[in-house]
C-alpha cells in the first residue's frame, strides 16, 4: 500500500478540505441522529448540505457524470469520504446513492435509469433494502418470498425483516424467488417496489436502545410491474451481489471509531471525582484506551488495504470480510470501554446525560453489529476458506 497521495490526489484532498472549511458547517446533531438510526430527523437537517454537494456532483461522487455524479475514481471517492468522516459530516444519499443507484446504473435499463436516478440524487425518494427474511439472513439465497407472474405484473407474497429505514422509505429494492424449482442461488429476481403499493405492511421493530432502526415488512398479493425487474429474470442473485459490492472500504466507520475514542479520552481527562480524573482513578482504563486506539488504527489500515485493491481493479473478498469482522467487534469493545470510563453515569441517556448518553445507546445497539451485514461466523468462514484456503467441514 502507498500511504501517500499522489499529486492529483493531494490536490483533490485540499479541494475537499477547502470546501468543508468554507461551505459546510458540520451538523453534529444530524450526525448523532444518523448514528442512532433516526434517519428522518437526520435527513431533514441535511437538506442544505445536500444542495451544496449537488452543485459539485458529490452526493453520488462515483456515479458517471451523465447520471449526475462527479465521475470520481475509487481513490478520490475514498479521500472525500475520509475527509467528510473526519469532520463529522454524515452521508446524505443513503441507500439510494450507495447501493441501489449504482446497481441500476450497472444492470438497469434506460427506462429505469430515467425514472429513478434523478429522484435519488434530489432526495425526493428514499430507499430501503428487502433482502433478509426471518429464515434467511446469513444464508440469504434460501429466501422464500415468492413472486408469481400474472399478466404484466408479478404478485409478491412473503416477509422481509431487519429492514432499515422501511418506515419512511418510498421505494424498496428487494429479491424474491421467481422459480421455486431452480437451485437456491438461481430462480431469484431483483425487483424495485413502490412502498405505497397495496398489500405492503411495515411494522417497526424497537431495539434495546428504544430505537426503531429497522422493521419487518409483509407482502400480501403485492403487484409489481414486470418492468421493475432489474437485470435478467431469475438472475437477481448476481444483481444483488453487485449491490453488496459497493463501498466496501468502510473508511467512514474506521474514522468514526477514532473520533469516538477522542471524545472518550477528553471526557476521562476532564471529569474528576475528589480531584482525581477518571483515568487516574481507574488505572486499567488507560490500558484499555490505548488498546482501543491501536485497534482503531488497525481498522483504518484495513480500510486502506481494501481501497488499494479496488484502485488496482481487484475485488476485495476475504479482505472486506476481515475489515467488517474487525470493525464490528471493535465497536463492541469501544462501547464496553466507554461504559467503564463513565461508570454508573453510563446508564443515563438523553441530552442531559454525560456525552449525551452516547454510550448508554451504543452499548446496546452495538450488540447487533456482529450480526448485521453478515454474522461474524460467516465472515470467519469466508476468511478461512477464501483467504487461508482451509477446507470446508
pLDDT digits (tens, 9 = 90+) for 50-84: 888 888 899 998 899 999 999 999 899 999 999 99
Nearest of 187, 167, 277 to residue 238 by alpha carbon: 187
The domain over range 248-387 is classified in CATH as 3.40.50.300: no
Instruction: Provide the whole-model pTM.
Output: 0.84
According to CATH, what is the number of the domain 127-242? 2.40.110.10
Nearest of 262, 257, 393, 264 to residue 323 by alpha carbon: 257
Domain boundaries, given as residue ranges, for the chain: 7-92, 127-242, 248-387
Instruction: Please give the backbone phi and psi of residue 50, each rounded to the nearest 5 degrees, phi first.
Output: -60, -45
247 is catalytic: yes
pLDDT value of residue 208: 79
- pLDDT band of residue 200 (cuts 50, 70, 90) is very high
Please state which CATH class domain 7-92 belongs to. mainly alpha
For residues 215-237, average pLDDT: 97
Portion of the chain with pLDDT greater than 90, in percent: 52
In three-state secondary structure terms, 211 is: coil
pLDDT value of residue 210: 78
Nearest of 173, 162, 159, 169 to residue 138 by alpha carbon: 162
Q: HSE, CB side, 13 Å, CA atoms: give it for residue 207.
A: 22
Portion of the chain with pLDDT greater than 70, in percent: 90
Contact in structure between 199 and 76 (CB atoms under 8 Å): no
Catalytic residue (choose from 82, 83, 133, 247): 247
The dihedral through the CA atoms of 342, 346, 348, 352 has a sign that is: positive
Q: E strand or H helix at 63, and its extent? A: none
Distance CA 358, CA 355 (A): 6
Distance CA 239, CA 181 (A): 20
In three-state secondary structure terms, 176 is: strand
Nearest of 173, 224, 178, 175 to residue 198 by alpha carbon: 224
More confident residue, 46 or 311: 311
Distance CA 267, CA 69 (A): 40
More confident residue, 181 or 251: 181
Amino acid at each position: 500500500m502507498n500511504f501517500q497521495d499522489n499529486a492529483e490526489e493531494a490536490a483533490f484532498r485540499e479541494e475537499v478540505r477547502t470546501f468543508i472549511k468554507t461551505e459546510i458547517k458540520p451538523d453534529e446533531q444530524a450526525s448523532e441522529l444518523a448514528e442512532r438510526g433516526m434517519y428522518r430527523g437526520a435527513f431533514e437537517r441535511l437538506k442544505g448540505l445536500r444542495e451544496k454537494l449537488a452543485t459539485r456532483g458529490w452526493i453520488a461522487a462515483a456515479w458517471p457524470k451523465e447520471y449526475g455524479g462527479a465521475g470520481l475514481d475509487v481513490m478520490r471517492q475514498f479521500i472525500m469520504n475520509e475527509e467528510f468522516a473526519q469532520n463529522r459530516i454524515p452521508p446524505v444519499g443513503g441507500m439510494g446513492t450507495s447501493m441501489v443507484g449504482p446497481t441500476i446504473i450497472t444492470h438497469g435499463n434506460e427506462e429505469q435509469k430515467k425514472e429513478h436516478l434523478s429522484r435519488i440524487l434530489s432526495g425526493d425518494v428514499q430507499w430501503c433494502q428487502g433482502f433478509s427474511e426471518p429464515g434467511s439472513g446469513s444464508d440469504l439465497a434460501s429466501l422464500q418470498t415468492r413472486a408469481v407472474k400474472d399478466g404484466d405484473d408479478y404478485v409478491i407474497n412473503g416477509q422481509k425483516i431487519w429492514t432499515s429505514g422501511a418506515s419512511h422509505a418510498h421505494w424498496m429494492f428487494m429479491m424474491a424467488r421467481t422459480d421455486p424449482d431452480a437451485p437456491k442461488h438461481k430462480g431469484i429476481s431483483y425487483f424495485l417496489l413502490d412502498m405505497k403499493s397495496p398489500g405492503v405492511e411495515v411494522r417497526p421493530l424497537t431495539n434495546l436502545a428504544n430505537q426503531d432502526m429497522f422493521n419487518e415488512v409483509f407482502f400480501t398479493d403485492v403487484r409489481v410491474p414486470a418492468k421493475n425487474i432489474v437485470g435478467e429474470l431469475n438472475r437477481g442473485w448476481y444483481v444483488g451481489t453487485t449491490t453488496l459490492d459497493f463501498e466496501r472500504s468502510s473508511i467512514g466507520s474506521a474514522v468514526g471509531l477514532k473520533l469516538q475514542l477522542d471524545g472518550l479520552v477528553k471526557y476521562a481527562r476532564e471529569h474528576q471525582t475528589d480531584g482525581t480524573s477518571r483515568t487516574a482513578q481507574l488505572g486499567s482504563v488507560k490500558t484499555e484506551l490505548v488498546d482501543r486506539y491501536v485497534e482503531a488504527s488497525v481498522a483504518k489500515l484495513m480500510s486502506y488495504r481494501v481501497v488499494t485493491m479496488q484502485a488496482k481493479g481487484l475485488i476485495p473478498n476475504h479482505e472486506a470480510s476481515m475489515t467488517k469482522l474487525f470493525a464490528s467487534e471493535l465497536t463492541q469493545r469501544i462501547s464496553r470501554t466507554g461504559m467503564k470510563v463513565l461508570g454508573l453515569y453510563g446508564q443515563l441517556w438523553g441530552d442531559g446525560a454525560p456525552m449525551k448518553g452516547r454510550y448508554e445507546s451504543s452499548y446496546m445497539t452495538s450488540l447487533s453489529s456482529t450480526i448485521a451485514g453478515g454474522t461474524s461466523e460467516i465472515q470467519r468462514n469466508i476468511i478461512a476458506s477464501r483467504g487461508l484456503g482451509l477446507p470446508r467441514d
